[in-house]
Amino acid sequence: MVAPEAKRSLSELLLNSDYLSVMTVDMTEVLPDGLVAIVKSDCPTCELIVPVLVQLENAADLTVVTQDCDTFPEEISDRHFDEDLAMSWHHEIETVPTLISVSGGKETDRTVGWSRSNWEKLSGVSGLGINLPEQRPGCGSLSVDPSQSEVLAVRFGDSSFASRRIEFAALEDSHEALFDRGWTDGLPVVPPTEDRVLKMLAGTSRSHDEVVAVVPPDLAPCTVEKIAINAVMAGCRPEYLPIVIAAVEAVCTEQFNMHGLLATTMPHAPVLIINGPIANQIGMNSGNNALGQGNRANSTIGRAIQLIIRNVGGGRPGEVDRSTFGSPAKVGFCFAEREHDSPWPPMSTTYGFESGTNTLLAFAGEAPRNLIDQLSRDPESLARTFAANLISIQHPKLVLGFDAVLAIAPDHSRVFAEAGWSRERLVERVLDLTTRSGIDLVRGAGGISEGVPESMKDAELPKFRPNGLHIVHCGGAAGLFSAIIGGWVNGETGSDPVCVPITP
C-alpha cells in the first residue's frame, strides 16, 4: 500500500463495474451578517468602486471577499481571501462585484456590477460614489471561469460518481499505470480525472447514473457515467458523447449480438455509420480518408465503444475475444455518410428514419478493401464490377451468410446519378448479378472443397440475404474507387445491423 503522503491528487475513476460510495466535501460557507461584497483585483469595475467599499465600511457592517488577491483592496480592513473559491462557488457568484445583504446567515438580496441606485437601495447608505459613473458592468467571477468551473464542481459539488477512485503514487506515471492495469487498447489513453469526466457528462442531458445497456460478455450494467469515463480515455470531446451512448445502445442489443461477435475467431468488429446533421456539427469526416485516420471524431468515437466493451464488459483479446487475426476495425471504426452531394437519400432512411434524423448504424464488419474501376462510364458495367468483387466476400462459394457494406465515392456514384439509378435499383441489380447456380458452389466444384452442401446443387443461390447489402455514400471527391466492408455471419445465428436514433 502506498503511504498517503506519497500519493498525489490525480484521482482516476475506475473503469469497470465496481462501485463505491462517494464522500463529498462539506464546504458550506456561511456569509456574515451585514453587507458582503465579492470582488477581484483583476476587474476594472472592482478597482473603480474601492472608494464605495470604503464608504460602506465606515457607514455599515461590511465584509469584502476577494477572489484573487489577499491584499485587495488594501483600504479595507475586514477582508476575506476566497483562495479556494469555496464561498464564491457555494453562493453562485457569477459576476464581480456582487453586493449581498445578509441577515441571520441568510441572503436577503443582492446586486451585481456597479449601479449607484441599486447599491444605495440595498445598503441603505446614500451618496455612494458621487464622483463615479452612475453604473458599470462587472466581470466574470473566477468561480465560473471555464478553467475553474469543472474543478470546483468536483471539489465542492455532489457529483455522486458511483465509480471508485484510484489514487496513483507520486512517482507513478499515470499513462503507464493505465497500461499496467489493462485499461487501454494498446495505445495511450487520456487519464479520466473527475473534472474531465464532469466536462464529458455535460455533453448529454441524460442522468449520469442512468443504465444505458448491459455490456457483454460480463453482462455488466453500463451507466452514462461509465460511458463518459471511457469516452474521456478514448479522447472524445463532450459533444461526441450522445453518439457514443447511441453506439452502446446499438451494439448491446440481442439483435447485434456483441457477445457472439467477440467470441468469434473471425476478425470482425462494430462498424459505426453516422447520418444526420450531427455529423457536420461535430466535424466528422465523410470525405477524403473517411475510413482512415486523422479525424478526431471518427477516430475517438469508434475507439470509445471498443474501450467500453473491454473495460466495462470484459471483452479482452486472448480471453473472450478469440479472433484469429483481428483487424484495424477492432481499434475503432466509425465514419459519417457523405450526404450533401449524395445521389440518394441517407442510408438511415432504409431503416425507416426520416432524412435529417441523427442516427447511428452498427454493422458487424471487417476492415475495408478497395475496389477499382476507372473505365466504366455506364451503370450496368459498374454494377457488374461491384458484383464481381462482392462475390468474393469471405469465400466466392459461400452465400447467404454474409452481409456487406458497399461504400461508394462520388466519382462512382456520379455514374449512377447521371443514369437516374436509385439506391434500390442498384441494390436489386447487384443482388441479381451475384445470384449463381448451386452446381458451381457445391463442395468440390472448381476443385475447391469449400462450398455449400450437395443438396443445394440445383438451386439458384443469391450471395446476400434480403436486405443484406448496404450502400453508403462517402469518400473523397476524386478517385474512381469504392470500398467493400464485408460482414460477419449475419442473421439470427449471427449479427443483424442495428440503426438507432442519436438523442441529446
Q: pLDDT per residue over 220-268, tens digit each?
A: 999 999 999 999 999 999 999 999 999 999 999 999 999 999 999 999 9
| Contacts (Cβ under 8 Å, ≥6 apart) of 285 | 294, 295, 297, 298, 335, 336
5 burial (CB, 10 Å; 0-12 / 13-18 / 19+) is exposed
- Please tell me the predicted confidence (pLDDT) of residue 30: 78
Which of 365, 366, 360 is closest to 245 using CA atoms?
Answer: 360
Helix, strand, or coil (residue 363) = strand
- Please tell me the predicted confidence (pLDDT) of residue 159: 61
- In order of their start, the domains of the chain are 34-146 (3.40.30.10), 194-501 (no CATH)
Rounded distance, CA 36 to CA 30, Å? 11
- Please tell me the predicted confidence (pLDDT) of residue 1: 23
Question: Does the CA dihedral 390-396-398-399 come out positive or negative?
Answer: positive
Rounded distance, CA 440 to CA 436, Å? 7
- Please tell me the predicted confidence (pLDDT) of residue 101: 96
Residue 451 DSSP symbol: S
Torsion on CA atoms 140, 142, 148, 154, rounded to nearest 10: -110
Please give the single-letter amino acid code of residue 165.
Answer: R
- Please tell me the predicted confidence (pLDDT) of residue 148: 81
- Please tell me the predicted confidence (pLDDT) of residue 3: 29
The residues of the chain scoring below 50 in pLDDT are: 1-28
Please give the single-letter amino acid code of residue 44.
Answer: P
- Please tell me the predicted confidence (pLDDT) of residue 410: 98
Residue 493 DSSP symbol: T
- Please tell me the predicted confidence (pLDDT) of residue 22: 29
370 burial (CB, 10 Å; 0-12 / 13-18 / 19+) is exposed
CB of 278 closer than 8 Å to CB of 504: no
End-to-end CA distance of the chain: 42
Please give the single-letter amino acid code of residue 391.
Answer: I
CB of 225 closer than 8 Å to CB of 179: no
Rounded distance, CA 180 to CA 114, Å? 55
One-character DSSP codes across 252-267: TSTTTTHHHHHH-SS-
Rounded distance, CA 17 to CA 310, Å? 12
Which contacts qualify for 423-430: CB closer than 8 Å, 24 or more apart? 423/344, 423/345, 423/350, 423/471, 426/379, 426/383, 426/471, 427/469, 427/471, 429/379, 429/380, 429/383, 430/383, 430/386, 430/387, 430/390, 430/406, 430/469
| Contacts (Cβ under 8 Å, ≥6 apart) of 410 | 338, 341, 473, 475, 476, 477
Phi-psi region of 114 (alpha: psi -120 to 50; beta: other; left: phi over 0): beta
H/E stretch holding 44 reads helix 44-48
What's the grid cell of residue 461? 443461390
Rounded distance, CA 439 to CA 456, Å? 8
One-character DSSP codes across 95-119: EESEEEEEETTEEEEEEESEEHHHH
CA 34 from chain centre, in angstroms, equals 47
